[in-house]
Amino acid sequence: MADPTNHNQAGEVAPSTVDQQAPSVAQEHAPSTDSPEATDLPTANTPDPKAANPEDNPNAAKPAAASPKREKPAAAAATGEKPAAAAKAAKKEKAPSVEDKPFVEFIEQDYLPALQKAIAQQGVKDLQVSFAKQKVPITGFESAEECWQITGSWKETGLRQFNLYFPEEDIQGKKGFSCNEGKKPSTLESFLIDERKITLDLLVYGLVQRLGGQKWLGIN
């Protein structure tokens, strides 16, 4: 006997469960018709932007342009130094010292005034100083060439005189010293031979010390 549940009416077949579910399943996965929706699937007319050659495809993605580099100032680029370092180096440059002057100019403009002042501070009031190129006034040096000399003299208990010799016309070169009291000097001494660098102050101090050792200054 046939099942009456399989027929709504005579001659009509009830739809299967697959037919009943098909419309709802298709509707659930169908795109919305309210607004167009783009997809990432390539079509026949539009190639994939990532895979396409930028030269052939105007829609292809282009690499970002590199940001321009900042140029260094011309002066710093020429020297290879940073502007701050170049300015610091310029500040470190020192002005030439008095010892760098030409020999004669240094003696006349700087050494003689400083020497006279230093000896006057030791109680000598009538010091006479000269600077000239002449023969060495010592026995045995008559045939030697002339050299620059500083001659100082004053009267105390008689005539006191000293000579400072510069045979190389250079304060850093060889120097000699002699002294006498009213007669011709007999000995030529080396002067400041152990000093590595001669300065104005050292030349003044050295000669004042030598005259003090002779007991010609102060209360001597």
| Residue 55 resides in a domain | no
| Residue 191 resides in a domain | yes
HEC letters along 28-78: HHCCCCCCCCCCCCCCCCCCCCCCCCCCCCCCCCCCCCCCCCCCCCHHHHH
HEC letters along 141-204: CCCCCCEEEEEEEEECCCEEEEEEEECCCCCCCCCEEEEEECCCCCCCEECCCCCCCCCHHHHH
| pLDDT confidence tier of residue 179, bands split at 50, 70 and 90 | very high
The helix (run of H) or strand (run of E) holding residue 18 is helix 17-29
| Residue 77 resides in a domain | no
| Residue 166 resides in a domain | yes
Residue 126's pLDDT is what? 87
Is the pLDDT at 169 greater than 60? The verdict is: yes
> What is the arithmetic mean of pLDDT over 193-216?
93
Share of the chain above pLDDT 70, in %: 57
pTM: 0.57
> What is the arithmetic mean of pLDDT over 13-21?
49
The closest alpha carbon to 151, from 172, 137, 141, belongs to 137
Return the higher-pLDDT residue of 122 and 17: 122
| pLDDT confidence tier of residue 9, bands split at 50, 70 and 90 | very low
Cβ–Cβ under 8 Å, residues 105 and 135: no
Cβ–Cβ under 8 Å, residues 138 and 184: yes
* Number of structural domains the chain divides into: 1
Return the higher-pLDDT residue of 158 and 54: 158
| pLDDT confidence tier of residue 22, bands split at 50, 70 and 90 | very low
Q: Where do runs of H (alpha helix) occur along 67-110?
A: 74-79, 83-92, 103-106
| Residue 137 resides in a domain | yes
152: exposed, middle or buried (C-beta count within 10 Å: 0-12, 13-18, 19+)?
Answer: buried
| pLDDT confidence tier of residue 29, bands split at 50, 70 and 90 | very low
Residue 47's pLDDT is what? 52
Return the higher-pLDDT residue of 63 and 133: 133
- Report strand pairing: 147-155 vs 128-134: antiparallel
| Residue 106 resides in a domain | yes
Q: Starting at the edge strand that comes first in sequence, how are the strands of the sheet with 159-166 ordered?
A: 128-134, 147-155, 159-166, 176-181, 189-190
> What is the arithmetic mean of pLDDT over 12-28?
48
Task: Give tens-digit pLDDT for 83-128.
Answer: 666 666 555 677 788 899 999 999 999 999 999 999 999 988 889 9
Angle (deg, nearest 10), helices 112-120 and 200-213: 40
Cβ–Cβ under 8 Å, residues 111 and 200: yes
Instruction: Round the average pLDDT of the chain to a whole number and report it.
Output: 74
Residue 135's pLDDT is what? 92
| Residue 109 resides in a domain | yes
Residue 168's pLDDT is what? 93
| Residue 113 resides in a domain | yes
> What is the arithmetic mean of pLDDT over 43-68?
53
> What is the arithmetic mean of pLDDT over 62-84?
56
Which domain covers residue 164, as residue numbers?
99-214
The closest alpha carbon to 118, from 213, 215, 205, belongs to 205
Looking at residue 215, the DSSP 8-state letter turns out to be T
Is the pLDDT at 8 greater than 50? The verdict is: no
